[in-house]
Amino acid sequence: MTPGEPLIRWDWLLSHAGEIGQRVGEHLELTLIAVAVGFLIAFLLSLAALRVPRLYGPISWTTGILYTIPSLALFALLIPYTGLSLLTAEIGLVSYTLLILIRNIVAGVRGVPAEVREAARGMGYTDRQILWRVELPLALAVIFAGIRIATITTIGLVTVTALIGQGGMGYFILLGIQLFFSTALIVGALGSVILAVLADGSLVLVQRALTPWTHTP
Amino acid sequence: MKALGDLVHWLTDPANWQGSHGIPVRVFEHIELSAISVILALLIAMPIALYLGHTGRAGFIAINVANVGRALPSLALLAFGLVIAISLGLGLGFWPTVFALVPLAIPPILTNAYVAVREVDRDIVEAARGMGLSEGQILRSIEVPLGLPLMLGGIRTAAVNVVATATLGALVAGGALGRFIVDGLALQEYDQLMAGALLVALLAVATEVSFAALERATVPAGMRAIR
């Protein structure tokens, strides 16, 4: 952006390869913790909503509000209490996965055809067995679609956590903005997009391995 | 709890409600920035979506644009916006943020408008064609009115995302409500930080709620009974 400066300085890329690798690791770690913790919470809330349908309204309303609050604002509201920490970043990141995950888990289970459920009941399955052996396996494809969206969204949001001292690839974007240095900008922005694409691709492969019946070989 | 007290104190301090750095000016800047970005995105996305939806062409692309859009992190868009604005000589602040917000808003608008037109019952469209309506008339008086709630759903997603992300404009020397957050972070003034965060959150929720109301209001009278 400074005149005469190339858009990408390859020598900078090479000399910072180690740091880039380290930030990629950080980015993936922040994402993995958020999606894993988010899934655990979403799963428990979904089970509650499936058992007591009256709860689904309030749960989806609350997570909807959380999802609407801008990420930077949510981090900012937490800072006086949890500081510029990993915890602050993860509370925000986890909050954003909940709506997507709960929607898909509940929709997936509710989408199981009634006659399948009836057949299982007729074969003597208990409610618990129906949930774990019939409904959840059949809902896996829809649940996985939710996990994919949550993961992609989280990878994008992780860049924002650079503002509170975390951030993975977001660190390079901030560095680029502060120094007017396009190489760092592009490394951070493109790096984050590439991570999202790769993560999505890997999740598709995992999903295929887990649900062999959804596709013909 | 002290943080909450400071927050209330900051919000009720008359000094923060006056002048070019006051709350009303920042709120206005935020809405202005968001509105211009959404309108630009509409001008780009709607003609494409209506054309593709009406002709049924390129459905795969129109639908997958949204998925690609989701993978673009807002901070990365801001970075690209900055590179573009600087190389066009448009400076810092407003334009880099607009360049980041428009591509953020296009995917949900495009995909929803495309799906909205496609989902209109083909029998109705055929009937209209049989009655001698031109293609333009079919689009104007059948497909758009019937698809309007769904289209507004896409605009709502776009608008809420834009209002949320406009906050980041303060990182590239922009105004708007992000200013309070970014300055509060830099100066470690937690009252200012939290006040900015609260105002942005309220604005985002207000955007969501108003568009939801608008969506319900635009369901054509004839469609309400069967919903």
Give residue B223's pLDDT.
67
pLDDT, position A101: 93
Under 8 Å between Cβ of A106 and A49: yes
Length of chain B: 227
What A9-12 contacts at long range (C-beta under 8 Å, 24+ apart), as own/partner pairs, is A9/A183, A12/A183, A12/A184
Q: Quick check: B27 contacting A, CB < 8 Å?
A: no
Return the half-sphere exposure (C-beta side, CA atoms, 13 A cut-off) of residue B94: 9
Domain boundaries, chain B: 2-224
| Residue B92 contacts A, CB cutoff 8 Å | no
What confidence category does residue A24 fall into, taking pLDDT thresholds of 50, 70 and 90? very high
Question: What one-letter code names the amino acid at B200?
Answer: V
Are B176 and B165 spatial neighbours (Cβ–Cβ below 8 Å)?
no
pLDDT at B17: 83
- Could you read off the pLDDT of A129-148 as tens digits, one per residue? 998 999 998 888 889 889 99
Residues of B whose CB is below 8 A from A71 = 164
Contact B7, B192 (CB under 8 A): no
Which of A72, A161, A182 is best to mutate for the B interface (most B CBs within 10 A)? Answer: A72
pLDDT class for A154, splitting at 50, 70, 90? very high
How near does any CA of chain B get to the CA of A128, in Å?
34
Interface residue B181 vs chain A (CB under 8 A): yes
Give the contacts of A36 (CB within 8 A, at least 6 positions apart).
none
> What CATH number should be reported for the domain whose range is B2-224?
1.10.3720.10
Between CA A70 and CA A54 the distance in angstroms is 28
pLDDT 10s digit of each residue in chain B, 227 long?
Answer: 577 788 888 888 888 788 778 888 888 889 999 999 999 999 998 998 888 888 877 777 767 776 667 667 788 888 888 888 878 878 788 888 998 899 889 988 988 888 888 888 888 888 888 888 888 888 888 888 888 888 888 899 899 989 988 988 888 877 888 888 888 888 888 888 888 888 998 998 899 889 888 888 877 776 665 54
Instruction: Dihedral sign for Cα B138, B139, B141, B146, please.
Output: positive
Q: Where are the domains of chain A?
A: 10-210
Tens digit of pLDDT for each residue in A107-117?
989 888 889 98
List B residues 51-70 in contact with A (Cβ-Cβ < 8 A).
70
Searching chain A, which residue's CA lies closest to the CA of residue B167? Answer: A72
pTM for the full predicted model: 0.81
> Which of B:188-207 have CB within 8 Å of A?
190, 193-194, 196-198, 200-201, 204-205
Q: Does B3 touch chain A (CB under 8 A)?
A: yes
On whether the A10-210 domain is CATH 1.10.3720.10, my answer is yes
Q: Please choose, from the candidates A8, A34, A35, A21, the residue with its C-alpha nearest in 3D space to the C-alpha of residue A169.
A: A21
Q: pLDDT tens digit string along A183-207? A: 888 889 889 889 988 998 899 888 8
ipTM of the complex: 0.75
Q: Using CB atoms, pick whichever of B75, B193, B194 lies closest to residue A173.
A: B75
